[in-house]
Structure 1
Amino acid sequence: MTMNRRRVTTALVGLLIGLFGSLLAAAPASAHAALVGSDPAANSVVPDAPNRVTLKFSESVQLIAGKIRVLAPDGSRADQGDPTVSGAEVTIPLRPAGARGTYLITYRVTSADSHPVAGTITYSVGAPSTPPADGGDASVTVDPLVKALIPVGKYLGYAGLVLLVGPVLVLALLWPHRLDRRGPGRLVWTGIGLVAGSTLLGLWLQAPYTLGTGLFDVTVSDVREVLGSTFGAVMLVRLGVVTAAAFLLRPLLDGPGGGESRLDLALLGVLGVAALATWPLTGHPTASPVAGVSVVIDALHLGAMAVWVGGLVMLFGFLLPRATGRELGAILPIWSRWAMTAVGVLVFAGVVQALIEVSDFDGLISSTYGRMILAKIGLAALVIGVAAFSRKLVGKRADDDSPGPLRRIVAAELAIIVVILGVTSFLVQEPPPRTVEAAETGSTSTTVEQTLTSKSMSMQVSIYPATVGNNSIHLYAYTLDSKPLPVVEWKATAALPSKGIEAIEIPLLRITDFHAIGDIGLPQAGEWTFKFTARTSEIDQETLTMTAKIS
């Protein structure tokens, strides 16, 4: 009989590891920060070399030492000193008196959800030139072994949480005094070991993950930098909480009656809440538009899952096979209420998370992420139906009834969990609509950039944001060999013939000999016609025409 119980326990542990492996095998997921703007703007031409470059992201980021560079047209380093970050804005100081030509910015930072984000942009001083060769991390490269181990560490941690939370609650509040606690105790110690081990593994893997290096290329300074980050601080808190919980759990796990006190149980409850909070604090909820709400909701979702699934493991593996009919008659109604509450919290938290990530009905229907949410809702409804039937069966059973039918229902609930987690394993691979929208907004610029050429001059035109309403216009005049061309007087007009809008004069202000700026309010969308006249002497002038789509 003991051997059978060991086999059941081993099988359950393996099932949980497999389940949470499918849940997290897709990690790292796709919800990262996106570059939404820069100063100078990407692909823009500025008349004078700036003294700094500013990068603006869709969420707060953290710097990675040595991973932000600005290269001058000749390939030398144009940045000087260390970049600084304030929330979602990174400032890079530059060397004074930069040369004319195209500059390359390469960046690699860590987003609020602990994932690395990398890319490159260019800007030009005076006139464009051939960009320098990429000297940084233009893409998020991750060592294959590191990439494979990250989800392993994550699913072991989640499996450990289930084996820790649910069994501890059952042992503290529902376990019959006459029954031996060694079997459930081994389950709890396994959970503690999995959580602690996955935390240490996560701390180690974060260094090569963010730096793009190999698993064994990590230095002491790399680990120190991880420990000094928000991710490292939260993971250290998790490790400390689990260690403290291990000491407090000894009385609960020792002996048939346990020796725990109410104070120990209260402290365990506080530690449990603190531990649950560490998961959303190192993940996507911190990047949510309403981060505080998302963190709380995600912790509730995780806690309800751990209570429900961990309790089912205890019920299926230990209580139903070993408790008497009288004991089950007292335990099952209480557990039934726990399960219904946990499922209710799961559904509530899931709906709130979906509303935050999807935000509108169209996103729920038209996106893959939204359709998977709908599939999970259907499966959750099925679970609620099974749980309701289970409660009905618990209410009708007699003290001497066989627990067989109830074990089959518990097995059915676990089977549905397998399906739900299977859907979730695909869901975490899909970026939510809000993330896709932020990335598209960041990568798509509405600025119109055109270079107009005549027989005697070249004119670069920049219209921002090229949308209905107020727009800024920058004009730069060059000779045909790309040297600044002094302009004595500038004139410009804008017209929309298709809508009957005649030419509107654009007031221009001469900033330098070859650079002028102006502002104009464009009342309607359409293909606007712009005319620019540059007088370079008493008798010489050129008029150039272009069309630009205003949205």
Structure 2
Amino acid sequence: MAGMTVAPRRWLARLAVAAGLLVTVGALLIAPATSASAHAVLQSSSPAASSVVPSGPSEVVLTFSESVRKVPGKIRIIAPDGSRADRGEPAFDNTVVTIPVSPDAGRGTYLVSFRVISADSHPVSGAFTYSVGAPSTPPADSGGDDSRADPVVSTAVKVARFLGYAGLVLLVGPVLVLAALWPQRLSRRGPTRLAWTGLGLVTVATLADLWLQVPYTAGGGLFEVSGEGFGTVFGSPFGAAHLVRLGLLAASVFLLRPMLARPAGRTDAIILAVLGVAALLTWPLAGHPAASPAPAVSVVVDAVHLGSMAVWLGGLLMLAVFLLRQADERELSAILPIWSRWAALAVSALLLGGTVQALIEVATPQALVSTTYGRLLLAKIALFAVVIGVAAYSRQLVRSRVAAQRPVPVRRAVWVELAVTAVVLGLSATLVQTPPARTASAESSDVSAGQFTTSLTSTLYTMQVELSPAERGNNSIHLYAYSKDNLPLPVKEWRATVALPSAGIEPIEVPLLPLTDNHAYGDISLPAAGEWQLKITARTTDIDQATVTATVPIR
């Protein structure tokens, strides 16, 4: 009876662990995006935001922190009377976007709204006003888009990335083990099925990435796609990398089929390895590394990081599911020392690659704790340290030759490694959709660039605050309200005050003008430098309201 109850308990424990992992990974994937989800920053504009110019400009020039590409129909200039003032297509030149403007649009306040694609394939959007002659009531952009992607689309993008990583693990592990470590007497059916499942997941995830990139960059819903949108995606570096990946996957099928069925020849193995390395490079070429300050280094390091992860986790999976259960003591005595060396090399590459990535993407120690990217990276490092400890224990068992005679302790350690690294995969899928710390820290409080930006959270809403030029004198402020689901939140009444207690300046009322349901604009004169206290109250219903505060450094 005791023997009959132990096995079910073990399976129940494993099911509980699996359920916990699914909940954890799911929570990571559906976590709301930060309020500033773009990975590039609008550094300046001509005319400047909130400025008053004597005569109408013939063009509006936007300058971003990195090169950007066009999203068709998503750049507009609205005249004071509500008509379109932009004429023709905007010109894109690396970091500069030039928008032709009708010279006879009249006096008053103009609204400029934009949505473009940053170099790392993520959307960048926003709006600002300028006035000709004298300010007037700002026009509303009835055709404008919210500054966020649809939350369903954003979540689907993370899920697709996670499935792609999982598929890579399921593909690489069986292929490597079957090619170099698999005992001839054992059936190859189980690992072969695992490899084909992995190939299918990578293919499906790649196709999903291409589909989702259209609404993700254009700001639409899951099925709001068009031929023009696909043309834009396919013509981008993101689309090119994914199409190349699909081609490499198709080519690898012809080599995988005989290799999975029987030991492969040396030439086929070399060709397949070359195809695999080329496919690995398509992941960093379609993401953050391609837009980093050192793109060549970042792309190579990220590919090494991803490949090492696939080798290590894929090998662990093969050990846990097949070898430690089916191989005999003599076979394990030969296999485990070789695998131990592989794992050590993979872990070393992971550590080296992760360190280089962190130095490039985080940039400053403060960004590790002050940005979402930095905090996710710290969590990933902490989990990775746990995995390293478990791996060291496993390696010690292998060296002491205990594992071949009593594989149960090693099997348990391998399952722990798999469990923790599954969560690490979820963190990685979230990291690739999170603004790098070097960008996010510059956005969160970038006074030197002439603008203060922050995100404030209350029980009712998240408030995005933009104040420029963050200097003594006249300043403009833009407020954007969002729900807990990252959707625009209509506000019935806005109130805001600023105060400088250190200089004895009592709260000053900020006159606010609603531009849209969730966007208000105001002008305020700040007479002295210092740490100003900004207090914002937004009433969302007849009875519900909440107040948030921020400290704004004024030079």
Give unpaired runs (5+ residues) of structure 2. Answer: 1-7, 453-467, 473-527, 531-552
TM-score if structure 2 supplies the norm length? 0.73
Q: Find 1:394's aligned residue among 393, 398, 419.
A: 398
Residue 282 of structure 1 corresponds to 286
How far residue 271 of structure 1 moved from its aligned partner, in angstroms, is 1.3
Alignment of 1:265-344 (within 5 A): 265-344=269-348
Q: Find 1:417's aligned residue among 409, 421, 446.
A: 421
2:133 is the counterpart of 1:129: no
In 1, the alpha carbon distance for the partners of 2:332 and 2:71 equals 56
Is this contact kept in 1: 2:471–2:529, CA < 8 A?
Answer: no
Q: Find 1:241's aligned residue among 242, 248, 256.
A: 248
Is this contact kept in 2: 1:106–1:136, CA < 8 A?
Answer: no
Specify whether residues 90 and 72 from structure 1 end up closer, same or farther in structure 2 by C-alpha distance, changes over 3 A only: same
Secondary structure of 2:88's aligned partner: coil
Specify whether residues 465 and 210 from structure 1 end up closer, same or farther in structure 2 by C-alpha distance, changes over 3 A only: closer
In 1, the alpha carbon distance for the partners of 2:281 and 2:22 equals 21
Q: Over aligned residue pairs, what C-alpha RMSD do you find?
A: 3.4
In 2, the alpha carbon distance for the partners of 1:217 and 1:368 equals 29
In 2, the alpha carbon distance for the partners of 1:16 and 1:178 equals 34
Larger Rg: 1
In 1, the alpha carbon distance for the partners of 2:120 and 2:101 equals 29
2:182 is the counterpart of 1:178: no
How far residue 26 of structure 1 moved from its aligned partner, in angstroms, is 4.4
Note the alpha carbon deviations across 1:96-117, whole angstroms, 9 max, x for none: 3442222111111112222222
Specify whether residues 374 and 437 from structure 1 end up closer, same or farther in structure 2 by C-alpha distance, changes over 3 A only: closer
In 2, the alpha carbon distance for the partners of 1:436 and 1:341 equals 33
Q: Find 2:117's aligned residue among 87, 110, 114.
A: 110
Give unpaired runs (5+ residues) of structure 1. Answer: 449-462, 468-524, 528-548
The one-letter amino acid of 1:403's match is P
Note the alpha carbon deviations across 1:187-243, whole angstroms, 9 max, x for none: 010011111111112211221222222333323332222222222111111111111
Specify whether residues 205 and 441 from structure 1 end up closer, same or farther in structure 2 by C-alpha distance, changes over 3 A only: same
2:440 is the counterpart of 1:436: yes
Residue 360 of structure 2 corresponds to 356
Q: Find 1:165's aligned residue among 146, 153, 172.
A: 172
Alignment of 1:488-499 (within 5 A): none
Is this contact kept in 1: 2:173–2:310, CA < 8 A?
Answer: yes
Alignment of 1:448-463 (within 5 A): none
Specify whether residues 225 and 550 from structure 1 end up closer, same or farther in structure 2 by C-alpha distance, changes over 3 A only: closer
Moved more, 332-341 or 205-214: 205-214
Note the alpha carbon deviations across 1:136-158, whole angstroms, 9 max, x for none: 43523434543342222222111
How far residue 367 of structure 1 moved from its aligned partner, in angstroms, is 5.1
How far residue 337 of structure 1 moved from its aligned partner, in angstroms, is 0.9
Is this contact kept in 2: 1:21–1:156, CA < 8 A?
Answer: no
2:228 is the counterpart of 1:224: no
The one-letter amino acid of 1:323's match is A
Aligned length: 449
Identity across the alignment (%): 57
Moved more, 207-216 or 49-58: 207-216
Residue 499 of structure 2 corresponds to none
In 2, the alpha carbon distance for the partners of 1:399 and 1:280 equals 37
Is this contact kept in 2: 1:446–1:464, CA < 8 A?
Answer: yes
In 2, the alpha carbon distance for the partners of 1:180 and 1:426 equals 37
In 2, the alpha carbon distance for the partners of 1:355 and 1:299 equals 16
Specify whether residues 187 and 426 from structure 1 end up closer, same or farther in structure 2 by C-alpha distance, changes over 3 A only: closer
Specify whether residues 268 and 447 from structure 1 end up closer, same or farther in structure 2 by C-alpha distance, changes over 3 A only: closer
How far residue 67 of structure 1 moved from its aligned partner, in angstroms, is 0.8
How far residue 316 of structure 1 moved from its aligned partner, in angstroms, is 0.7
How far residue 421 of structure 1 moved from its aligned partner, in angstroms, is 4.7
How far residue 464 of structure 1 moved from its aligned partner, in angstroms, is 8.6
Specify whether residues 314 and 31 from structure 1 end up closer, same or farther in structure 2 by C-alpha distance, changes over 3 A only: farther
Secondary structure of 1:65's aligned partner: coil
How far residue 16 of structure 1 moved from its aligned partner, in angstroms, is 9.2
The one-letter amino acid of 1:308's match is W
TM-score if structure 1 supplies the norm length? 0.73
In 1, the alpha carbon distance for the partners of 2:371 and 2:75 equals 34
Moved more, 99-108 or 185-194: 99-108
In 2, the alpha carbon distance for the partners of 1:14 and 1:464 equals 50
How far residue 20 of structure 1 moved from its aligned partner, in angstroms, is 6.2
How far residue 162 of structure 1 moved from its aligned partner, in angstroms, is 0.7
Specify whether residues 400 and 384 from structure 1 end up closer, same or farther in structure 2 by C-alpha distance, changes over 3 A only: closer
Specify whether residues 113 and 162 from structure 1 end up closer, same or farther in structure 2 by C-alpha distance, changes over 3 A only: same
Is this contact kept in 2: 1:26–1:429, CA < 8 A?
Answer: no
In 1, the alpha carbon distance for the partners of 2:281 and 2:23 equals 24
2:350 is the counterpart of 1:346: yes
Is this contact kept in 1: 2:255–2:272, CA < 8 A?
Answer: yes
Note the alpha carbon deviations across 1:18-62, whole angstroms, 9 max, x for none: 886566444867452221111111111122222211111122211
Q: Find 1:190's aligned residue among 182, 187, 197.
A: 197
Is this contact kept in 2: 1:161–1:191, CA < 8 A?
Answer: yes
Is this contact kept in 2: 1:22–1:422, CA < 8 A?
Answer: no
Q: Find 2:209's aligned residue among 191, 202, 223.
A: 202
Residue 149 of structure 1 corresponds to 156
How far residue 432 of structure 1 moved from its aligned partner, in angstroms, is 4.5
Specify whether residues 447 and 174 from structure 1 end up closer, same or farther in structure 2 by C-alpha distance, changes over 3 A only: closer
2:36 is the counterpart of 1:32: no
Secondary structure of 1:42's aligned partner: coil
In 2, the alpha carbon distance for the partners of 1:417 and 1:146 equals 25
The one-letter amino acid of 1:281's match is L
How far residue 249 of structure 1 moved from its aligned partner, in angstroms, is 0.4
The one-letter amino acid of 1:216's match is F
Moved more, 222-231 or 243-252: 222-231
The one-letter amino acid of 2:315's match is G
Is this contact kept in 2: 1:47–1:125, CA < 8 A?
Answer: yes
Residue 221 of structure 2 corresponds to 214
How far residue 381 of structure 1 moved from its aligned partner, in angstroms, is 2.8
Is this contact kept in 2: 1:67–1:136, CA < 8 A?
Answer: no
Specify whether residues 425 and 313 from structure 1 end up closer, same or farther in structure 2 by C-alpha distance, changes over 3 A only: same
In 2, the alpha carbon distance for the partners of 1:93 and 1:19 equals 49
Residue 76 of structure 2 corresponds to 69
2:59 is the counterpart of 1:55: no
In 2, the alpha carbon distance for the partners of 1:95 and 1:373 equals 47
Is this contact kept in 2: 1:245–1:271, CA < 8 A?
Answer: yes
